Amino acid sequence: MNFRFFVVLFSCVVFFGFSGPALAAEDIFIGPEFYTRTDSYAILDSDDGSVLLGKNAFEARPIASLTKLMTAMVAIDHGFDFTDSMTYNSKRHYAYRNYMNLRNGDVVANRDLWAAMLVGSMNVPSRMIADSLPMSESEFIGAMNDKVVELGLHDMHFVDVSGLDDENVGSAVSVGKMMRAAMEYPRIYQTLSLKSYEFNEVVSVDRRYHHQFRHTNRLHRKKLYIPVGASKTGYLWEAGNCLAFETVLSRENRIVVTLGEDSWNRRHEDGNRLAVWWDNLSLSQKSRSEAFLIKYPNDPRVFEVVNGRKSWIPDARTFLGKGYRWDQIMTVSPNDKIKLGIRTVLQVASSVGIR
Residue 264 forms part of a structural domain: no
Q: Are residues 14 and 126 in the same domain?
A: no
Q: Are residues 123 and 191 in the same domain?
A: yes
Residue 26 forms part of a structural domain: yes
Point out the domain boundary residue: 219, 241, 260. Answer: 219
pLDDT for res 277: 96
Q: What is each CA distance from 337 to 203, 310, 350, in whole angstroms?
A: 50, 13, 12
DSSP-assigned beta bridge partners for residue 294: 303, 330
Q: Are residues 8 and 69 in the same domain?
A: no
Q: Are residues 74 and 182 in the same domain?
A: yes
pLDDT for res 348: 53
| pLDDT above 90 as % of the chain | 79
In order, the DSSP letters of 197-214 are EEEE-SB-TTS--EEEEE
Whether 4 has a pLDDT exceeding 70, the answer reads no
Residue 44 forms part of a structural domain: no
- Residues across the chain: 355
pLDDT for res 265: 84
CATH number at residue 159: 3.40.710.10
Q: Are residues 301 and 183 in the same domain?
A: no
pLDDT for res 152: 94
Q: Are residues 191 and 130 in the same domain?
A: yes
Q: Give me the mean pLDDT over the 191-215 stretch.
A: 97
SS3 state of residue 128: helix
pLDDT for res 17: 38
Contacts of 157 (CB under 8 A, 6+ apart): 60, 145, 148, 167, 168, 169, 170
Strands 329-331, 40-45: parallel, antiparallel or unpaired by DSSP?
unpaired
Point out the domain boundary residue: 203, 219, 235. Answer: 219
E strand residue ranges, the chain: 29-30, 40-45, 51-55, 61-62, 85-87, 107-109, 169-170, 196-200, 210-214, 231-236, 240-249, 252-261, 292-295, 303-306, 309-312, 329-331, 338-340, 343-346
pLDDT for res 344: 83
Q: Are residues 213 and 308 in the same domain?
A: no
SS3 state of residue 17: coil
pLDDT tens per residue, range 226-285: 999 999 999 999 999 999 999 999 889 999 999 999 988 889 999 999 999 999 999 999
Q: Are residues 25 and 137 in the same domain?
A: no
SS3 state of residue 90: helix
Tell me how far apart the alpha carbons of residues 147 and 157 are, in angstroms, rounded to a whole number: 10
pLDDT tens per residue, range 161-182: 999 999 999 999 999 999 999 9
User: What's the one-letter identity of residue 219?
Assistant: L
Point out the domain boundary residue: 219, 250, 275. Answer: 219
pLDDT tens per residue, range 23-37: 456 899 999 999 999
Whether 81 has a pLDDT exceeding 70, the answer reads yes
pLDDT for res 345: 82
Q: Give me the mean pLDDT over the 83-91 stretch.
A: 98
Of the candidates 25, 10, 32, which has an alpha carbon nearest to the alpha carbon of residue 282? 32
pLDDT tens per residue, range 109-163: 999 999 999 999 999 999 999 999 999 999 999 999 999 999 999 999 999 999 9
Domain count, the chain: 2
Q: Are residues 196 and 81 in the same domain?
A: yes
**Dihedral sign computed on CA atoms, order 262, 264, 266, 271:** positive
Q: Give me the mean pLDDT over the 324-352 stretch.
A: 81
Residue 43 near residue 52, CB atoms below 8 Å: yes
Tell me how far apart the alpha carbons of residues 153 and 49 are, in angstroms, rounded to a whole number: 12
Residue 57 forms part of a structural domain: no
DSSP-assigned beta bridge partners for residue 331: 295
pLDDT for res 188: 98
Residue 121 forms part of a structural domain: yes
pLDDT for res 68: 98
Q: Are residues 68 and 28 in the same domain?
A: no
Residue 226 near residue 121, CB atoms below 8 Å: no
Q: Are residues 192 and 80 in the same domain?
A: yes
Q: Give me the mean pLDDT over the 85-105 stretch.
A: 96
353 confidence band (pLDDT: 50, 70, 90): very low
Output the average pLDDT for the chain: 90
309 confidence band (pLDDT: 50, 70, 90): confident
DSSP-assigned beta bridge partners for residue 62: 169
Residue 95's domain spans which residues? 64-219
Tell me how far apart the alpha carbons of residues 97 and 80 are, in angstroms, rounded to a whole number: 25
Residue 226 forms part of a structural domain: no
Q: Are residues 91 and 165 in the same domain?
A: yes
